[in-house]
């Protein structure tokens, strides 16, 4: 994921503002994740919709979710919803049947696919540090020591 674009104010503070490049840029208040509208697809059941709302809200609140990530999140929860349907059929199928073996394979494949997609959002412990590092970078305000010294004079 690319780092977020610096605001014109940040560029001016660090001395990197160039009117020829950034002069026409319009500034919008807030972060990119503030502008994201999360809509829950009607195809989701109540459990999937509630889980999607919880996860998407958390990611948006922490500034991790972008528009492109939202597409991946929708895909992950489509797999999750399908897996929930497979699981309900799997519970009612006799263990000795051939259908049970196929459904259990389909279910385990769905779990793996969901985990692969959701991993990029920090849901897997090995990826959590990467996401938390990204969130901390957004919160830390960097100041140029040279500009600070010039302001104090």
Model confidence over 64-114: pLDDT tens digits?
777 778 888 899 999 999 999 999 999 998 988 899 999 999 999 999 999
Shared domain for 41 and 112, answered yes or no, is yes
Shared domain for 127 and 66, answered yes or no, is yes
User: Does 106 map to a domain?
Assistant: yes
User: Does 149 map to a domain?
Assistant: no
Shared domain for 131 and 56, answered yes or no, is yes
User: Does 153 map to a domain?
Assistant: no
For 10, 57, 136, the CA distances from 60, given in Å and listed in that order, are 23, 5, 15
User: Does 150 map to a domain?
Assistant: no
* Residue 143 vs residue 43, higher pLDDT: 43
Residues in CB range of 106: below 8 A, 6 or more apart: 86
Residue 2's domain comprises: 1-30
Window from 36-40, 112-116, 147-151 with minimum mean pLDDT? 147-151
Helix (H) or strand (E) holding 109: helix 98-118
Mean pLDDT within 125-141: 61
Give the pair of three-digit tokens for residue 74.
């929708």
Is the separation of the CB atoms in 54 and 47 below 8 Å? Answer: no
Please, which pLDDT band fits residue 140 given cuts at 50, 70 and 90?
Answer: low
Shared domain for 68 and 55, answered yes or no, is yes
Shared domain for 109 and 125, answered yes or no, is yes
User: Does 151 map to a domain?
Assistant: no
Shared domain for 18 and 81, answered yes or no, is no
pLDDT at 69: 81
**pTM attached to this predicted model:** 0.60
pLDDT at 27: 53
Shared domain for 11 and 41, answered yes or no, is no
pLDDT at 72: 87
pLDDT at 50: 92
Mean pLDDT within 43-57: 89
The burial class, CB within 10 Å (0-12 / 13-18 / 19+), for 34 is exposed
Shared domain for 111 and 51, answered yes or no, is yes
Q: How many residues does the chain have?
A: 153
Shared domain for 61 and 120, answered yes or no, is yes
- Number of separate domains in the chain: 2
Mean pLDDT within 34-39: 74
Separation of alpha carbons 81 and 117, rounded Å: 14
């Amino acid at each position: 994921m690319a780092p977020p674009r610096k605001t014109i104010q940040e560029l001016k503070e660090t001395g990197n503002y160039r009117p020829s490049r950034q002069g026409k840029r319009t500034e919008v208040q807030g972060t990119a994740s503030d502008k994201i509208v999360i809509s829950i697809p009607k195809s989701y059941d109540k459990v999937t919709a509630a889980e999607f709302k919880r996860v998407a809200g958390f990611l948006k609140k922490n500034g991790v979710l972008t528009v492109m990530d939202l597409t991946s999140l929708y895909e992950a929860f489509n797999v999750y919803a399908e897996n929930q349907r497979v699981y309900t059929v799997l519970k009612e199928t006799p263990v000795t049947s051939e259908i049970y073996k196929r459904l259990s394979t389909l279910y385990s494949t769905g779990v793996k696919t969901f985990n692969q997609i959701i991993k990029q959002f920090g849901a897997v412990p090995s990826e959590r540090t990467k996401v938390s590092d990204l969130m901390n970078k957004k919160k830390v305000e960097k100041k140029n020591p040279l500009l600070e010294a010039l302001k104090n004079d």
